[in-house]
Structure 1
C-alpha cells in the first residue's frame, strides 16, 4: 500500500473514530434512556436484534464488553426483570441470555426515542448521503 493511500486510510479512520466518540457522548447525554445506561440499552438492543436470545459469549462479542463486565451488567438487568439467564440446551456449560417481555417493551420504548436522536444528529446529510455512508461502512466491514 502506498504512503498516500495509508495516510488517506488513517485520516478516514480518525474521522470515523472522532464521529463515533462525539456521537456516543451526545447520545449518552440525551434524556431518552428510561433509567438505562447506554451499555444496558446496547445489550437489550443487541438481544432484540438477535431474536431475543444469545449465548453470553456471543453477546460479549457484539457489545464489545469483556465477559466479566458483561456478566455483571446482565446480572443487573436480570435483577430488574429485563433479562433472564437459561442453561444452553445444546451445551450445559453455556448460558443463554434471554430478553424478557418487559425488557423487549423497554427496548422498543427507548429505541424509538434514541432513533429520533440519531436522526437529528444525521440531519445534515441527505437521504442519498445516509445510504452511501451506510454502504461504505458495510463495505469496510466486508458485509
Structure 2
C-alpha cells in the first residue's frame, strides 16, 4: 500500500464532506442573494466585475474569464453585452491575438465593483463572522485552497 493510498479518505467520508460543503454553500448563497448590495447588479454580474478586477492588468479574454465563473460561454457573452451597454465593461482588440477581444472594467465598472464589494464584505462578516473563530476561518481557507489546487493540478 502506498503512502498516498494509505492516507486517502474513504468514499463515504468524501461524499459526506462534499455534501456538508455543498449544503453550507447553498445556505450562504441563499442569504447572499437577498443582500441589498445586489439590487444594482445580480450576484453573477458582480462576479464578472470582481473577476475582471482581479485579472492581471485588470483585463481578460472572455475564454479565460469564463474559467473562473460558473456560467456557460454563451451566457457570459450575453452578460458582457448587458454590462457593456450599461457602461461597466469595455471590449478592445486583444494585443496578443488580434482575432480575440480583451475585456476590462470601465471607470464606472471599477467604482461599482468596489462599492458593492465593500458592502458585500461587511454583510459576509455579519452573516458568517460568528460561526467560526479566526483560526477556523484560516483553516477553512487553507483546506479550500488545497482542494482547489489539487483539482487544478489534474
Higher relative contact order structure (alpha carbons within 8 Å, sequence separation ≥ 6)? 1
Aligned: 1:33 with 2:45: no
How far is the alpha carbon of 1:33 from its aligned partner? 2.1
Residue 90 of structure 1 is matched in structure 2 by 96
Which string of whole-angstrom CA distances, capped at 9 and with x for unpartnered residues, describes residues 43-92 of structure 1? 00001111421000011111121111000000000000000011111112
User: Which blocks of at least 5 consecutive residues in structure 1 are unaligned?
Assistant: none
Q: CA deviation at 1:19?
A: 1.1
Structure 1 runs, 4 residues or longer, greater than 6 Å off: none
Counterpart residue number, 1:100: 106
Question: Larger radius of gyration, structure 1 or 2?
Answer: 2
RMSD: 1.7
Could you list the per-position Cα deviations for residues 85-115 of structure 1 after superposition, in whole angstroms to 9, with x for gaps in the alignment?
A: 1111111221111111110000000001111
Q: Under a length normalisation based on structure 2, what TM-score does the superposition of the two structures give? A: 0.87
Counterpart Cα distance in 1 of 2:45 and 2:122: 19
The SS at the match of 2:101 is strand
**Larger fraction in strand:** 1
Counterpart Cα distance in 1 of 2:100 and 2:120: 32
CA contact (8 A) 1:34 1:110 kept: no
Please show how residues 41-120 of structure 1 align to structure 2 within 5 Å.
41-50=46-55, 51-120=57-126
TM-score by length of 1: 0.93
Give 5+ residue unaligned stretches, structure 2.
none
Secondary structure of 2:36's partner?
Answer: coil
